[in-house]
């Protein structure tokens, strides 16, 4: 197994579970595929397979007869099925003596990032008298923790993103002073080139959003239709990337500038509220880590949103406070969320995430985003924090 059989079994015993039942059909469960080492697509896996890791003893696999080698690289006994009647019988045998298992399941889909197993398969397991609980914290323990090399790669990527951010705002200010017509798409393409200069890779180009487009958190400029950026306008950039090396961890930041010399009070107040929310969430994570407290993702989200609500921006909240960071920009760890979902997973030492509160109006929006590394006994932001909108006019 990718994380070591002994380590997984120790975690199962610690959590009071009889086993972890990993299941996939045709790539439906990327978490399970990663755990058993099938993420590279080097085997044909078009049929259902199960792999039960018990808290004690030898693992047991169940695979289709036409794909008998699907899990041959893993420890334990393997049984085969072909028809659906055989699958039914073999599931009985696979789960015999098992009372409580973890699966990639979330009650009422509260955490959809974990909910990778279909309802029918969960029903089939329960019909055999087995209790199914969420594998959310197990996944975190083995999927979301950064290695020392991963942390170093994140810090390197973070520093590169801040350089791209500075270069972007400098270029916007310079070109506007020259009287050059520039669009959001133009700026995005400059940034894409600077990513290449820095050796960064990403799953999408940065967000560059001016004025009303900044009120759309996932706005993406398009060629031919993107907005021109003019004087005395707000510009939001959201950029994320990582090194091209294996195991590299993403960094993800958002900053806001104003293409004039004096930031309007409406913009400044909104940004101050978002920055205050970010600081409240960061303070809670630092206090929790230093005290060794049990802290959940929903609690961090509530700490940030309470600041926005108290400052009168409740109606302008459109998204959660933050997300897990990993080898994917949205990682498999806990998200800072009690708004879109109720993320009850624990913050675990050795993991990282974003804090990115924002408020959004039809005519503008602001967001401030930092990255946090949550360690044993401490937590810290991995880059500078924006305190006010930057004038670049």
pLDDT tens string 235-272: 999 999 999 999 999 999 999 999 999 999 999 999 99
Place of tokens 């045709």: 26
Q: Could you tell me the end-to-end alpha-carbon distance of the chain, in angstroms, rounded to an integer? A: 55
How much is the average pLDDT of 92-121? 95
pLDDT at 43 over 90: no
Poorest-pLDDT segment among 58-62, 82-86, 110-114, 193-197: 110-114
Mean model confidence pLDDT for the chain: 96
How much is the average pLDDT of 37-47? 82
From the CB of residue 339, how many other CB atoms can be counted at a distance below 10 Å?
17
Report the C-alpha gap between 277 and 260 in whole angstroms: 26
Report the C-alpha gap between 347 and 336 in whole angstroms: 9
**What pLDDT, in 10s, does the model give residues 326-339?**
999 999 899 999 99
Helix/strand/coil for 223:
coil
**What pLDDT, in 10s, does the model give residues 300-310?**
999 999 999 99
Please give the pLDDT value at position 105. 96
In the chain, the percentage of residues whose pLDDT exceeds 70 is 99
Please give the pLDDT value at position 227. 96
**What pLDDT, in 10s, does the model give residues 192-239?**
999 999 999 999 999 999 999 999 999 999 999 999 999 999 999 999
pLDDT-derived band of residue 350, with 50, 70 and 90 as boundaries? very high
pLDDT-derived band of residue 2, with 50, 70 and 90 as boundaries? low
Q: Which of 189, 289, 280, 196 is nearest to 243 (CA)?
A: 196
Please give the pLDDT value at position 393. 82
Q: Which residue ranges form the domains of the chain, and what is each CATH number?
A: 5-143 (3.40.350.10), 145-391 (3.90.230.10)
Report the C-alpha gap between 241 and 244 in whole angstroms: 9
Asked if 288 contacts 281 with a C-beta cutoff of 8 angstroms, the reply is: no
In the chain, the percentage of residues whose pLDDT exceeds 90 is 93
- Number of helices (H), then strands (E), belonging to the chain: the values are 9, 19
């Amino acid at each position: 197994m990718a994380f070591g059989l002994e380590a997984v079994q120790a975690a199962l015993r610690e959590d009071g579970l009889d086993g972890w039942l990993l299941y996939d059909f045709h790539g439906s469960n990327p978490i399970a595929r990663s755990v058993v080492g099938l993420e590279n697509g080097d085997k044909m896996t078009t049929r259902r397979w199960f792999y039960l890791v018990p808290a004690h003893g030898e693992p047991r696999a169940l695979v289709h007869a036409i794909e008998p080698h699907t899990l041959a690289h893993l420890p334990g006994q393997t049984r085969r099925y072909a028809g659906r009647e055989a699958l039914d019988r073999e599931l009985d045998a696979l789960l015999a003596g098992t009372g409580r298992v973890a699966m990639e399941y979330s009650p009422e889909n509260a955490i959809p990032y974990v909910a990778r197993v279909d309802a029918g398969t969960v029903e089939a397991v329960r019909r055999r008298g087995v209790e199914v609980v969420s594998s959310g914290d197990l996944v975190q323990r083995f999927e979301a923790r950064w290695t020392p090399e991963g942390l170093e790669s994140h810090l390197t990527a973070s520093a590169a993103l801040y350089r791209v951010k500075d270069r972007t705002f400098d270029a916007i200010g310079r070109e506007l002073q020259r009287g050059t017509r520039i669009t959001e798409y133009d700026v995005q393409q400059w940034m894409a080139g600077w990513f290449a200069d820095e050796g960064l890779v990403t799953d999408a180009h940065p967000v560059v959003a001016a004025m009303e487009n900044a009120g759309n958190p996932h706005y993406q400029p398009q060629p031919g239709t993107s907005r021109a950026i003019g004087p005395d306008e707000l510009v939001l950039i959201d950029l994320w990337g990582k090194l091209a090396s294996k195991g590299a961890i993403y960094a993800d930041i958002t900053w806001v500038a104003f293409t004039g010399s004096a930031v309007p009070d409406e913009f400044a107040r909104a940004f101050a509220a978002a920055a205050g929310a970010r600081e409240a969430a960061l303070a809670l994570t630092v206090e929790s880590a230093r005290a060794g407290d049990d802290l959940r993702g929903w609690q961090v989200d509530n700490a940030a949103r309470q600041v926005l609500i108290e400052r009168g921006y409740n109606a302008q909240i459109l998204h959660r406070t933050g997300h897990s960071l990993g080898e994917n920009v949205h990682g498999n760890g806990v998200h800072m969320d009690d708004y879109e979902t109720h993320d009850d997973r624990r913050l675990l030492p050795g993991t990282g995430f974003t804090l990115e509160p924002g408020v959004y109006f039809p005519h503008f929006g602001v967001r401030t985003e930092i990255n946090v590394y949550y360690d044993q006994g401490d937590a810290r932001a991995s880059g500078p924090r924006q305190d006010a909108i930057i004038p670049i006019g």
